[in-house]
Chains A and B, each alone.
Chain A
Amino acid sequence: MDPNSASANANANGEDVKDAKPDTTSEHISIKVASSDNSEIMFKIKRSTKLSKLMQAYCTRTGKSSGTVRFLVDGERIVGDNTPESLGLEDGDTIDAMTEQVGGGQH
């Protein structure tokens, strides 16, 4: 899958496609998704697109199950209904993708 899969998926679903304009740079922003082991993937996404699309694309791309990944912006959990707009994300901002943690006791 290519790194632009989030926007590709979004477009494939139809609802985010608007008139083909020559310049869409202001509508689309690049978001970096950084995992807990510091690997990073860039996604292009519309400011108004729900981040659930980016989350799905990230999980597909990395082969992680969506139930085991927590997405955070500046340490705060975000949900799929958030959009870059609603969170105030700007071009080049980072979303952290943390892996589920479990603990019982054995060292």
Chain B
Amino acid sequence: WLNDEVINFYMQLIMERAAQTPALPRVHAFNTFFYSTLRESGYARVRRWTRRARLFEKDLVIVPVHLGVHWCCAVIDMRQKSIVYYDALLGDNHGCLQTLLDYLREECRDKQGAELDDARWSVRCDKQIPRQRNGYDCGVFAATFAEHAARDAPFQFAQENCPFLRRRMMYEIAAASLTTRGH
């Protein structure tokens, strides 16, 4: 089990690494309250959250998704114009994909003064991903999906790696820096 503080600190680390590493994609990672607020209260309440983020200048936008007692992760790829939803329990969430596409449309109008080129965007729930096989590792999966996506790395990990991944997350959070991956 992980709470919002762990996920949010990890999202910060992912963003800092991207900012410090020119070879990596430019990343904005939202905190865990972004999606819940957008879903519950609509665009107006999150409009100012990206005043400084310049979302449309990023390559990737990571959106942690909290569902009651479950963590998932959505990744918006500005280069490929795609939104992909990753749930380690392989759940579907087309509502989330639609909410995020609607968000992009509003955000594009608000920050760019332009219409989003909807027709070129695609959305999907990816099921060909490492699968969670217990009832407590979803936060580790969601954070690891985000970390891998943030460097365009394939998801080469599995449930068996979670004890290691969890320990590495603890270490990285304590050190306030991500360890070097093979990028």
Contacts and interface: CB of A to CB of B under 8 A. Distances in A.
A107 interface: yes
B126 interface: no
Given A74-B48, A100-B4, A105 B69 contact: yes
A100 B5 CA distance: 8
Contacts of A105: 69-70, 88-89, 132, 134-138
Contacts, number: 86
A62 B5 CA distance: 22
Interface string B22-47: 00000000111110110011000110
B54 interface: no
A96 B38 CA distance: 13
Interface in A66-80: 70, 72, 74-77
B34 A104 contact: no
B96 to A, nearest CB: 14
Interface residues of B, number: 38
Indicate the size class of the contact surface on chain A: 20 to 34
Given A75-B31, A75-B34, A75-B48, A102 B1 contact: yes
Contacts of B30: 75
A25 interface: no
B41 A107 contact: no
B3 A70 contact: no
A9 B166 CA distance: 42
A38 B51 contact: no
B138 A101 contact: no
Interface in B99-132: 132
Contact of B89 (A37, A77, A107): A107
20 contacts: A36-B37, A70-B4, A74-B49, A74-B51, A75-B31, A75-B50, A77-B8, A96-B45, A98-B33, A98-B37, A101-B3, A101-B4, A101-B66, A102-B2, A102-B69, A103-B1, A103-B68, A105-B134, A107-B67, A107-B89
Given A96-B45, A105-B134, 5 more contacts: A34-B45, A36-B33, A96-B37, A105-B70, A105-B88
